[in-house]
Amino acid sequence: MAKMKPEELIKGLDYNPPSTSWMDLKADTSAGNWAYPGKPEIVKYLIGEGLPLANPREWVPSDEDWKLPPNWRDIIHQGFHERLEKYRSLKLFMDVCVRCGACADKCHYFIGSGDPKNMPVLRAELMRSIYRKDFTLAGKILTKLTGSRVMEEDVLKEWFIYFYQCTECRRCSLFCPYGIDTAEVTMMARELMHLVGLNINWILEPVANCNRTGNHLGIQPQAFKDIMDFMVDDIEEVTGVRVKAPLNEPGHEILFITPSGDAFADPGIFTFMGYLILFHYLDLDYTWSTYASEGGNFGLFTSSETMKKLNAKMYAEANRLGCKWILGGECGHMWRVINQYMDTMNGEIQGPQMTTPVNPITGTVFKNAAATKMVHITEFTADLIKHGKLKFDKSRNDHRRITFHDSCNPARGMGLLDEPREVIKACANHFFEMPSNTIREMTYCCAGGSGLNTDEIMDIRLRGGMPRGKALAHVQEKHDVNTLSCVCAIDRATLIPLSNYWAPGVQVSGVHELVGNALILEGEHERTMDLRQEPLKGFEDEV
Amino acid sequence: MTAMYSLVFVFLLVLIPLLGVGSAHLEFFFAVCVPTTAIIIFLAGFVYKIFKWTRSPVPFRIPTTGGQQQSLSWIKQNKWDNPSTGAQTFMRMLLEVFAFRSLFRNTKVQLNKETGVLGYASAKWLWLFAILFHYGFFIVAVRHMRLFTDPVPFFFTALEFGDGILQVGVPRLYLSDLLLVAGVSLLLVRRLWDARIRYISLFTDYFPLLLILGIALSGIYMRYFAKVDVVAIKAVTMGLVTFHYADLPFAQIGISFYVHVFLVSTLLVYFPFSKLMHLGGVFLSPTRNLPNDSRIKHHENPWNPAIKPHSYEAYEKDFGPAMHEAGLPVVDPANRGEEG
């Protein structure tokens, strides 16, 4: 937890830049400003799996010597050149920024820290300054005057600090008149850093786990089954109904994949239970999988190669089990990958048995998923609700006064905005929106995605979470909101410390936890508690 | 400081034709050679830059989705901010290019340190200044086409008439001149005024603003104050575009014309190699000019690397026996303790 109280943090904020030019300011590499580097054995394992990482070693970012390979300048230059040739986005975004400053106060890290290098424009300039020097004529001649500089170790260290302090949330891109997307720049910077061995363990260990065990937490299949059995027991305790939980079973129509964070801890497990209840209610012809037990794609934070390798498992497993289409759970960056990358990267490995998804209960054809064959759970549930296929007792969510947090990736990389709201409003009576400048496409990041969901960098996370936290505190005060719902597993992990700090008393919940609470199962006993085994309204004394 | 450098640099640029024509009498050089070369560099540079960008592929569709996606039939799609077809994307680009729609969204964060309230205020000033400037510049540039066409097409005369409709003074005052000077000055003042914008500003941010201001002011000076011989100028400009350079009336034109032309030439040469190329770049931005349809139809990545997932067989090799013991189905009979 942060050393500072929220009031102190706010008092200390200064949005005015320092007098020193940013080029003359070194990055602060002291502990607390960075997440731990990747463990050498994990880097070695991933290199062995054919991924573009390098230079496994023990190193500490606060040390002077980062143990870079001797030819690191050439590697970075060559890697930069390659990526300029591979991505028009990078080339364009290096050239067309006019530094109008429209993005400056749109980044949650800038708002929470006041650090000018967190202004998206300047974050990208950290890379543009090298681009100009290395790849443009004017930059070669006029140097500092035109904002170009030579690649030095200090610049690389600055990249490490600031490009891991970007959550690729794309909020700046929404406001940029040319659509310059800092997420693209950040992704490229990270790819370059990986080539010389600058990486963080919070990303690489999950990548290694996803690759080998199927999920980022490294849960082995037998343990995954244990967890599911445990949840089935809990559901029986709450509802009196023993739900089906098919796992790794071939021959079903639908494969269901959700982020494994939901199998791991509060409050994700309640969302996991919500899925189980819904699918049991529908008697859905589906299966879970342990091999593809991770929806979240930590490759998005690493490199496009890693993203492709991890994503491919979804199709590989659908093919192996003979599933016709895939239903995807509540996850943020998983859906950006599915919407914008999946078919382009892995469409060719889709088996011939896969078809455009059709809701077996309502007959709705999901034409918007004709290529990927993947449907978002809130699209699926909203469709069921519209067709009157779900019977809810909304009062079972009456102890919750709910607001909704749009996760950056489904919001700005997909446009999934109304579907979750439709679901929440159908199964709960008290729903309140946060201020309009902080939701939907203008939503604020949870400050933990893309590589910061780790305790060693908690101060920075809490700062970055300030805009979201403030908006939450606003509805808490105004409408007595006590539940922040979301459709992302990283949110369910990161928003808890955030709300404890900025809006104490607000709980975090997935949307399908609310569905699971409200759904009236056939043969259930009278419910007196919710999936958290906390008393429902009116049953406070009985539990 | 960088703003001062830029100002000095623009003054130096003004001095060159003043000396070149005023003292050295290089009228032909400054009226014909310089602008012709500049136009060639501008066109070639512009094409080269666009070519250079388009040579790199767009492997992935990454539009920023600024509204509701195309989803279930009863959920209203935000077609202009989250387009799923070419026509919708065209509308999005149209609004982007002609109305600066993304910039129109701009807000300003305000933190009240006493109450701890984080608020958002509408901040459309940048949008307004940018619109004034760009439309002012556009109309001025198009209006100049009457100097390069004979007979002058109806469109240009109509624009000129509309532009001068206020009929203030002789010669008539053009509204676009006011727009341009106001727009560029406001953008400049904003850049100098706002500490944050000043902090991120480079020489290359001040220079084009000051250069364009110089162009506008020199143009206004020659038209309204020096009252240069427009008939002579038209003779020269028509000579330029028809490649007939003999007997052009250089001497009848005041020196302010040469300053104006030289500054414009500088801008043309500078344009393709600077941030001003956002004019071409905005059309190519992959976060804006692509429909959000990669879940709907297949797109090809030209360099898609051959990467395979960690296979199920390898997975079962690691965990097979334990899976079998836990009651999970396994494929390899050996994992069930049976002979293969």
pLDDT in tens, A497-530: 999 999 999 999 999 999 999 999 999 999 999 9
A interface test, pick of B200, B212, B297, B313 with most A CB neighbours within 10 Å: B200
Q: Looking at the complex, does the CB of residue B315 fall below 8 Å from at least one CB of chain A?
A: yes
Residue of A nearest to B111 (CA): A10
B308 vs A309: CB contact, 8 Å cut-off?
A: yes
The pLDDT of residue A150 is above 80: yes
| Amino acid in position A193 | M
Identify the CA nearest to A90 among candidates A53, A127, A137: A127
> Residue B118 has what pLDDT?
94
State the Cα–Cα distance between residues A488 and A262, nearest whole angstrom: 9
- Which stretch of A148-162, A451-465, B169-183 has the lowest confidence by average pLDDT? B169-183
Residue A543 confidence (pLDDT) above 70: no
Please tell me the predicted confidence (pLDDT) of residue B303. Answer: 96
* A104 closest CB neighbour out of B78, B196, B299: B196
Q: What is the mean pLDDT of residues B58-63?
A: 97
| Contact across the interface for A221 and B70, Cβ inside 8 Å | no
Kindly state the tokens that stand for B262.
């030289």
d(CA B193, CA B187): 10
Rounded percentage of chain B residues whose pLDDT exceeds 70: 99
Which of A17, A98, A441 comes nearest B199 by C-beta?
Answer: A17
The complex's ipTM?
Answer: 0.93
User: Of the candidates B56, B199, B319, which has its C-beta nearest A221's C-beta?
Assistant: B319
Rounded to two decimals, the pTM is: 0.94
Question: Is pLDDT at A290 greater than 80 in this prediction?
Answer: yes
Calculate mean pLDDT across residues B101-121: 93
| Secondary structure (3-state) at A496 | helix
Reported as half-sphere exposure (CB side, CA atoms, 13 A), residue B227 has a value of 5
Contact: A92, B284; criterion CB under 8 Å: yes
Closest CA to B111 of A73, A14, A391: A14
Q: Does B302 touch chain A (CB under 8 A)?
A: no
Per the document, the length of chain B is: 340
Beta strands at A254-257 and A507-510: parallel, antiparallel or unpaired: unpaired
> Over the Cα atoms of chain A, what is R_g?
23
B92, two tokens: 């999005």
Run of H or E including A405: strand A402-405
Closest residue by Cα to residue A116 from A155, A165, A152:
A165
Q: What does the pLDDT read at residue A143?
A: 77
A95 neighbourhood in chain B, CB within 8 Å: 49, 53, 275, 277, 281
User: Taking all residues of chain B, what is their mean pLDDT, rounded to a whole number?
Assistant: 93
Residue with tokens 């393709």: B272
Q: What pLDDT digit, counting tens, does each position of A170-229 carry?
A: 999 999 999 999 999 999 999 999 999 999 999 999 999 999 998 898 899 999 999 999
Give the C-alpha separation, A270 to A258, whole Å. Answer: 13
Mean pLDDT of B154-159: 88
Distance CA A203, CA A200 (A): 6
> What part of A 318-357 touches B (C-beta under 8 Å)?
320, 338-345, 347
Residue A265: the pLDDT is: 85
d(CA A252, CA A256): 10
Residue from B93, B78, B57 nearest B288 by CA: B93
Which residues in chain A are contacts of B118 at CB distance < 8 A? 111, 466-467, 470-471
Residue A363 φ/ψ region, left for φ over 0, alpha for ψ in the -120 to 50 degree band, beta for the rest: left
Give yes or no for residue A140 having a pLDDT over 80: no
**Rounded CA Rg of chain B:** 29
Average pLDDT over residues B115-133: 94
For an interface test with A, give the residue of B125, B315, B325 to mutate (most A CBs within 10 A): B315
Identify which of A391, A346, A394 has the alpha carbon closest to the alpha carbon of residue A371. A346
Cβ distance B102 to A175 less than 8 Å, yes or no, reads yes
From residue B283, alpha-carbon distances to A414, B95, B155, B179 in Å are 21, 12, 25, 25
Cα A124–Cα A341–Cα A168 angle in degrees, nearest 5:
30
CA distance B327 to B337: 13
